[in-house]
């Protein structure tokens, strides 16, 4: 923001700021543009993780959001082909913009295949650097996550009316079902090499499964992260991914040992309108069910609880969560802006995890069905691995049912 407005009336002016961040309350912050050129609107949140910017930027749950990184140096290790969480490559990453403190330097890592600036351009993500992200974060903490727009104009000339129109056209995340933007549209199988094939497991193809055979998991894709698939596979599951619009009949015809409800973007209540009946039908059949983040919110909605918008949300890789069954505290990775309202949980849902930052609900377990879910991201990508045990808990539930 150390820019002087350029005096020259025409042509390129080095002194002009090349990007602007406009908040809904009219605040304008100037900086250096990078990534895609143009204007892009979303809800502005902040993420406190010190590592894993590429996984964060490819997490489909960020659809409709602009991420402010509180860690000042982002981009130093460039980007690579591996640290990508998006599975559905046909869809965009979802993230609507990036706000950085320091300008991005040349990548310094043997793993880098590209620099962040060009990668953001290729993914059509607009970004602004040179911003006082501490002040911006303080503002979000105080006032909540505002709607915002980032405009990047390399010549420093901005169309104020167009920027304002972009901001006004963004209606905020409440009431928005963003799953269709990022979720799979076809059923597919996935294996640990990252290979996908259309269709996945075919109904009845395996017949009776012997003791010790991999658990057949059907994952409902609301905006699934790749590392969840890796973790499920590593825990001994064979995963078939189905679109969020798959019917309960389609899912149950695959004869799953377990159903997984994925993370995903947007307002859970909006997605719940079509997801809840499907989840209820799965629960009715007592199929072991595990949900993460949006999947957690979906499970809660399916048993009649409600979700509410949070003021600043939880986005980071150091969030302490208490497992109420064991008393243990796990440090977790988080990315959510809505939370399950514990006061609306029915008697058949027991609260299992709470956030030690603000006491919000972070997990439930049903007492009359083999189903549980957590608000945080046990796949830890990026983030600590304390919650990996939850994948084994899911496998144990499936083992119990087979017995
Ligand atoms: N990571 C997620 O699944 C996010 C869930 C939901 N979109 C929220 O913001 O609360």
- 266 labelled ligand-binding: yes
Atom of ligand 1 nearest to the CA of 178: 7
CA of 161 to the centre of ligand 1 (A): 32
- 337 labelled ligand-binding: yes
pLDDT reported for residue 200: 76
CA of 265 to the centre of ligand 1 (A): 5
How far is the CA of 78 from the CAs of 38, 204, 296, in angstroms?
23, 45, 33
Match 């010790």 to its residue by tokens.
212
- 294 labelled ligand-binding: yes
Cα 37 to chain centroid, rounded: 24
Atom of ligand 1 nearest to the CA of 266: 7
353 Cβ contact list (under 8 Å, min separation 6)? 321, 322, 323, 324, 361, 362, 363, 374, 375, 376
Taking only the tens of pLDDT, the chain with its 403 residues reads: 344 443 344 445 567 899 999 999 999 999 999 999 999 999 999 999 999 999 999 999 999 999 999 999 999 999 999 999 988 766 666 899 999 999 999 999 999 999 999 999 999 999 999 999 999 999 999 999 999 999 999 999 999 999 999 999 999 999 999 999 999 999 999 877 766 777 776 554 555 666 778 899 999 999 999 999 999 999 999 999 999 999 999 999 999 999 999 999 999 999 999 999 999 999 999 999 999 999 999 999 999 999 999 999 999 999 999 999 999 999 999 999 999 999 999 999 999 999 999 999 999 999 999 999 999 999 999 999 999 999 999 999 999 987 8
CA of 336 to the centre of ligand 1 (A): 4
Q: Which protein residue's CA is at the shortest distance from atom 8 of ligand 1?
A: 336
Contact 188, 200 (CB under 8 A): yes
Instruction: Report residues whose beta carbon is within 6 angstroms of any ligand 1 atom.
Output: 61, 263-266, 268, 293-294, 335-338
Cα 62 to chain centroid, rounded: 5
Locate 339 and state its tokens. 């939370």
For the whole prediction, is pTM greater than 0.90?
yes
Atom of ligand 1 nearest to the CA of 262: 3
- 338 labelled ligand-binding: yes
**Can you list the domains of the chain with their CATH numbers?**
19-169 (3.50.30.20), 179-402 (3.40.50.880)
- Choose the residue to mutate in 44, 59, 93, 297 for probing ligand 1, maximizing ligand atoms within 8 Å of C-beta: 297
CA of 375 to the centre of ligand 1 (A): 8
Which element (helix H / strand E) includes 188?
A: strand 188-190
pLDDT reported for residue 18: 98
């Amino acid at each position: 923001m150390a820019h002087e407005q350029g005096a020259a009336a025409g042509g390129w002016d080095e002194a002009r700021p090349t990007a602007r961040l406009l908040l809904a309350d009219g605040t304008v912050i100037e900086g250096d543009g990078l990534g895609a050129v143009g204007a892009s609107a979303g809800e502005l949140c902040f993420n406190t993780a010190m590592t894993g910017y590429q996984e964060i930027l490819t997490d489909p749950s960020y659809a409709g959001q602009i991420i402010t990184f509180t860690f000042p140096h982002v981009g130093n290790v460039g980007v690579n082909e591996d640290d990508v969480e998006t599975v559905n490559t046909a869809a965009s990453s979802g993230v609507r913009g990036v706000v950085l403190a320091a300008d991005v330097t040349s990548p310094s890592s043997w793993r880098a295949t590209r620099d962040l600036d060009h990668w953001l351009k290729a993914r059509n993500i607009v970004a602004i650097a040179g911003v006082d992200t501490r002040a911006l974060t303080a503002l979000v903490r105080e006032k909540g996550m505002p709607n915002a727009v980032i405009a990047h104009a390399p010549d420093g000339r901005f169309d104020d009316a167009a920027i304002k129109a972009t901001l006004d056209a963004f209606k905020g995340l409440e009431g928005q079902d963003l799953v269709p933007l990022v979720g799979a549209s076809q059923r597919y199988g996935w294996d640990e090499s990252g290979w996908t094939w259309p269709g996945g497991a075919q109904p009845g193809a395996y017949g009776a499964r012997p003791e010790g055979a991999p658990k057949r998991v059907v994952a409902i894709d609301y905006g699934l992260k790749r590392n969840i698939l890796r973790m499920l596979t590593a825990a001994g599951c064979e995963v078939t991914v189905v679109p969020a619009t798959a019917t309960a009949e389609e899912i149950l015809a695959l004869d799953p040992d377990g159903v997984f409800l994925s993370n995903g973007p947007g307002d859970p209540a909006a997605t719940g309108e079509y997801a809840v009946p499907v989840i209820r039908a799965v629960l009715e059949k007592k199929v072991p069910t595990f949900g993460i983040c949006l999947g957690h919110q979906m499970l809660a909605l399916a048993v009649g609880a409600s979700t509410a918008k949070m003021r600043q949300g939880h986005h980071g890789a150091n969030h302490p969560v208490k497992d109420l069954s064991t008393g243990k505290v796990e440090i977790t990775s988080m990315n959510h802006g809505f939370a399950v309202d514990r006061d609306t949980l029915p008697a058949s849902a027991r609260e299992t995890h709470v956030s030690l930052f603000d006491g919000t609900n972070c997990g439930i377990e049903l007492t009359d069905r083999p189903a549980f879910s957590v608000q945080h991201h046990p796949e830890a990508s990026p983030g600590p691995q304390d919650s990996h045990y939850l994948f084994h808990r899911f496998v144990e539930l499936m083992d119990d049912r087979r017995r």
